[in-house]
């Protein structure tokens, strides 16, 4: 009995590790502009507008891809979907390395969005949720976020090293793209052999199970769409992500308000984007499971703290503060937001979303939750262009705090529903 339990535990963490490897590498090609923006312009002949259009189009495809994923993630085994998605990224990257014409470049970016966001991401979220029990959700998602951050950092620095080794020229960029492509391909092969297929019925029950599955597949989408709790959790994710979009502007704010030295820009960026992801994920997960025993309660507390800090920060006399004070406050806000990001899907278990519709639930959650990424950057950017200087940033911080306040009240409402559900049992 103990051996069987240990074997199940080993399979669980092997699957989890495999998913983490994929999650940390599958987005590198789609967001290669983070490390290679100027080389893309110089060696691929792309303008600011062309890169921006590609990201925007891919963003819209990702947004509606999450919704379309409802039709597939509960019907296709993760053993097929995960490797297929990673191989799709690999093949798309191989074509990208040829430095194609802009229409082909645009098509490839659309395909990257389909493979990563429509097929891989909801399937991964579904699998992670099913791997952990009700008391492990915060921990599982927190460790996942930290692992993603670690893999993201390693792969990004390796690609930069390859680019430099080839002379920081066109050949170097092509080699970096090939590296970004081959890594997901290798992980796809690993995933195929390590991931367990979705649980199947015994041979004698196969016909009945197939009939039952067909009926379930037809009703899964409608069940998920009619489930109020799924929508509530999804909009909670929406408010977290709306705040998250705003932390992008901390670096230009610090440069303008505090004259952040160039030597500190790189260090701040690494800490803000990678270090806090690796740190905030596990901390948020363990506080959720070990202290509060509720992901929604953790989100509610973080929402009100973030809202308060942002309001105070917007009103501070920044010209009289040191750059280190500005860095400390913005990093504190970012740390809280990253800890929230790590576990914002964990409440799906807390509100008792049926596990047989997990794929559809995660697709709806991803569609609604990540929707701010399709327009909030444009909104924040337009505000900063319209209101020059510190005034624009203060408006952005107040809007971020407003999202956090709404998230606080929504979290409180979800907790009330959870309490009422428990009383009805």
The pLDDT of residue 1 is 61
Whole-model pTM: value is 0.74
Q: Look at residue 266 in the predicted model and tell me its pLDDT.
A: 55
What pLDDT does residue 143 have?
80
What's the confidence (pLDDT) of residue 262? Answer: 57
Provide the b/e sequence for 292-311 (b: ≥16 CB within 10 Å): eebbbbbbbbbbbebbebbb
Which H/E stretch holds residue 245?
Answer: helix 228-246
Rounded Cα–Cα distance for residues 425 and 402 (Å): 35
Nearest to 399 by CA among 302, 315, 332, 307: 307
| CA-CA-CA-CA torsion sign (317, 376, 19, 136) | positive
Dihedrals phi, psi of 384, to nearest 5 degrees: -70, -30
What is the dihedral sign for C-alpha 264, 266, 271, 273?
positive
Q: What residue ranges in 13-110 does DSSP mark as E strands?
A: none
Structural Rg of the chain based on CA atoms: 22
pLDDT score, position 63:
79
What size, in residues, is the chain?
Answer: 425
| pLDDT at 361 (0 to 100) | 85
Q: What is the pLDDT of residue 201?
A: 47
Cα–Cα dist 220/239, whole Å? 26
User: How many angstroms separate the CA atoms of 411 and 299, rounded?
Assistant: 7
Question: How many C-beta atoms lie closer than 10 Å to residue 418's C-beta?
Answer: 18
Q: What is the pLDDT of residue 265?
A: 62
Under a CB-based contact definition with an 8 Å cutoff, are residues 271 and 332 in contact? no
Q: How much is the pLDDT for 204? A: 46
Helices assigned H by DSSP within 370-389: 376-386
pLDDT at 34: 66
User: What was the pLDDT predicted at 205?
Assistant: 46
What CA–CA distance (Å, rounded) separates 349 from 141?
12
C-alpha span between 394 and 123 (Å, rounded): 39
CB atoms within 10 A of CB 319: 8
- In tens digits, what is the pLDDT along the chain, a chain of 425 residues? 666 666 666 677 888 888 888 988 998 898 787 677 678 888 999 886 787 778 778 878 887 887 777 777 777 888 899 999 999 999 999 999 999 999 999 999 999 999 998 889 888 888 887 777 767 777 777 788 778 878 887 888 888 889 889 988 999 999 999 999 999 999 999 999 888 887 654 444 444 444 455 455 557 778 888 899 999 999 999 999 999 988 878 878 888 888 877 556 656 766 776 667 777 777 888 888 888 888 999 999 999 999 999 999 999 988 888 888 888 999 999 999 989 988 888 888 888 888 778 778 888 888 899 888 778 877 888 888 888 888 999 999 999 999 999 999 999 999 999 888 777 65
Complete domains list, the chain, with CATH: 7-196 (1.20.1250.20), 220-425 (1.20.1250.20)
The three state secondary structure string of 169-209 is CHHHHHHHHHHHHHHHHHHHHHHHHHCCCCCCCCHHHHHHH
């Amino acid at each position: 009995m103990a051996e069987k339990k240990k074997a199940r535990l080993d399979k669980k963490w092997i699957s989890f590790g495999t998913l983490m490897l994929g999650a940390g590498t599958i987005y590198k090609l789609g967001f290669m502009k983070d490390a290679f923006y100027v080389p893309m312009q110089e060696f691929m002949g792309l303008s600011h507008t062309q890169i921006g259009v590609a990201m925007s189009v891919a963003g819209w495809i990702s947004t509606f891809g999450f919704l379309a994923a409802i039709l597939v993630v509960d019907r296709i085994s993760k053993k097929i979907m995960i490797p297929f998605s990673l191989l799709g990224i690999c093949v798309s990257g191989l074509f990208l390395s040829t430095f194609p014409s802009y229409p082909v470049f645009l098509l490839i970016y659309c395909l990257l969005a389909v493979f990563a966001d429509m097929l891989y991401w909801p399937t991964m979220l579904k699998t992670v949720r099913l791997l952990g029990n009700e008391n492990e959700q915060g921990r599982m998602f927190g460790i996942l976020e930290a692992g993603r951050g670690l893999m993201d950092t390693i792969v990004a620095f390796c690609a930069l090293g390859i680019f430099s080794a080839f002379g920081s020229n066109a050949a170097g960029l092509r080699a970096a793209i090939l590296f970004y492509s081959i890594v997901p391909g290798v992980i796809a092969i690993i995933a195929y052999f390590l991931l367990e297929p979705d649980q199947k019925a015994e041979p004698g029950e196969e016909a009945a199970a197939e009939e039952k599955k067909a009926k379930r597949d037809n009703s899964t989408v409608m069940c998920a769409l009619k489930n109020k709790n799924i929508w509530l959790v999804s909009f909670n994710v929406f408010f977290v992500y709306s705040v998250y979009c705003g932390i992008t502007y901390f670096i230009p704010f610090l440069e303008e308000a505090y004259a952040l030295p160039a030597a500190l820009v790189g260090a701040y960026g690494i800490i803000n984007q990678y270090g806090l992801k690796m740190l905030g994920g596990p901390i948020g997960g363990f506080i959720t499971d070990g202290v509060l025993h509720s992901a929604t309660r953790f989100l509610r507390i973080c929402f009100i703290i973030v809202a308060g800090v942002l309001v105070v920060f917007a009103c501070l006399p920044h010209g009289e503060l040191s750059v280190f004070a500005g860095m400390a406050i913005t990093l504190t806000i970012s740390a809280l937001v990253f800890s929230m990001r790590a576990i914002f899907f964990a409440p799906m278990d807390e509100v008792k979303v049926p596990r047989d519709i997990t794929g559809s639930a995660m697709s709806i959650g991803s569609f609604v939750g990540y929707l701010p990424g399709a327009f909030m950057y444009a909104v924040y950017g337009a505000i900063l262009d319209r209101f020059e200087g510190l005034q624009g940033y203060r408006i952005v911080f107040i809007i971020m705090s407003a999202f956090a306040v709404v998230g606080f009240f929504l979290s409180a409402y979800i907790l009330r529903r959870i309490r009422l559900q428990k009383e009805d049992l």
